Amino acid sequence: MKFYNIYSLMLSMSVGLLLMTSCDTDELHDLNINPQAVTEIDLNYLFSAAELGIASNGSTGDNRYIDWRTNIGLCAGAIQQVTTVGGISSNGNYYTHNAETAAAPFEFTYQDQLKHIAEILKQTGPDGYDAGNKVNMRNAARIIRAWSFARVTDWYGSVPYSEANQGIEGVFFPKYDKQSSIYPDLLKELDEAVSGMSASNPDEGFSAADMIYQGNIDQWKRFGSSIMLRLAMRISNVDAGTAATYVSKAVSNGVFRDNGDNVWIPMDIGPSEWQDQNGISRAFYPGDGGNPNHLSKTLVDWLKGADQSTADDDDPRLMILSGGIYNWT
């Protein structure tokens, strides 16, 4: 009798435990969800961040670093637009290798420009939480994407493109696409993006988020078409037929007319070279990074024209580039 009571007690406890462990755990799972956590980012903010990413702006640091190290220190020095007397930006001037300079465009473009664009395109795509909305912003993002990828492939040739920025989908080692396949797709993307933008589309915060054109659709179309024209001209000696097609489309759409169509973001006067300042101008500022930059004799002689003894045939840009615009007399 005693053993029977023990058995009954153990059976009752087992059934109770079974009921406890087999209950619905959804409610317990919900307790671990932070109701204050952000699950959907405002794409307007993300678009502004992408624009800052392509600007040579000290507050982001990415393109400022590219312009300083790669464009000015390496490329401009190598072709003798400028000369740098010592310092870390003299690699191009003296044909020396610097790993950080060579890697800067690859490192920062994917990380701080294309990553934001990829998220905007994903969330405004068919499976995103903003599917079907923000049409103009989505197409403006495609234009920025084409501009950024064009720069990267011009620097390096074969680069991650079709599988780039898909880490959240588990693509941790994207394949490298050849430039011969990247350029045609960029032209197609630009064509579709320019055609897809319209002033009749709902604004949905685009004008406020857009620091470049403040939502001016005509100027965005001209920006996209101007990139299209540039890329088409670059393949004209390789694929003349495709180049001619896109040159015609770009001109028909309308390209940049004057400086009023330029892509630029106003900069404030920040406390240092890395905060809210024009990164390109700061890179030429004496002392930044210990690099006194000067216009090279090669460039100056070329701008001065055939007769070096007179200013009559000087290129008018020489006065601006040299600072002589302030010394007309």
Residue 271 confidence (pLDDT): 60
For residue 35, give every residue at least 6 positions away whose Cβ sits within 8 Å of its Cβ, in sequence order, or none.
Answer: none
pTM, two decimals, is 0.80
Distances (CA, A) of 167 to 147, 170, 181, 277, 318: 22, 5, 22, 32, 47
Question: What percentage of residues in the chain have a pLDDT greater than 90?
Answer: 47
Domains of the chain: 44-295 (1.25.40.390)
Question: DSSP secondary structure string, 194-215?
Answer: HHH--TTS--TTHHHH-TTTTT
Best mean pLDDT range from 41-55, 88-102, 112-126, 242-256? 242-256
Which band of pLDDT confidence, cut at 50, 70 and 90, is reported for residue 75? confident
At 189, the amino acid letter reads: E
Q: How many Cβ atoms sit within 10 Å of the Cβ of residue 261?
A: 17
Residue 234 has pLDDT above 90, yes or no: yes
Return mean pLDDT, the chain.
82
Could you report the per-residue pLDDT of 135-178, keeping only the tens digit for each?
999 999 999 999 999 999 999 999 999 999 999 899 999 999 99
Residue 289 confidence (pLDDT): 54
Cα separation of 72 and 130, whole Å? Answer: 40
For 280-306, what is the mean pLDDT? 74
* Contact (Cβ atoms closer than 8 angstroms) between residue 296 and residue 322: no
Residue closest to 279 by CA, chosen among 71, 130, 48: 71
* Contact (Cβ atoms closer than 8 angstroms) between residue 292 and residue 86: yes
For 253-264, what is the mean pLDDT? 93
Cα separation of 292 and 120, whole Å? Answer: 40
**Surface-to-core class of residue 22, CB atoms within 10 Å of its CB (0-12 exposed, 13-18 middle, 19+ buried):** exposed
Residue 14 has pLDDT above 60, yes or no: no
Residue 23 has pLDDT above 60, yes or no: no
Distances (CA, A) of 47 to 142, 202, 217, 302, 316: 11, 16, 15, 41, 37
Best mean pLDDT range from 1-15, 83-97, 254-268? 254-268
* Contact (Cβ atoms closer than 8 angstroms) between residue 121 and residue 141: yes
Residue 28 has pLDDT above 80, yes or no: no
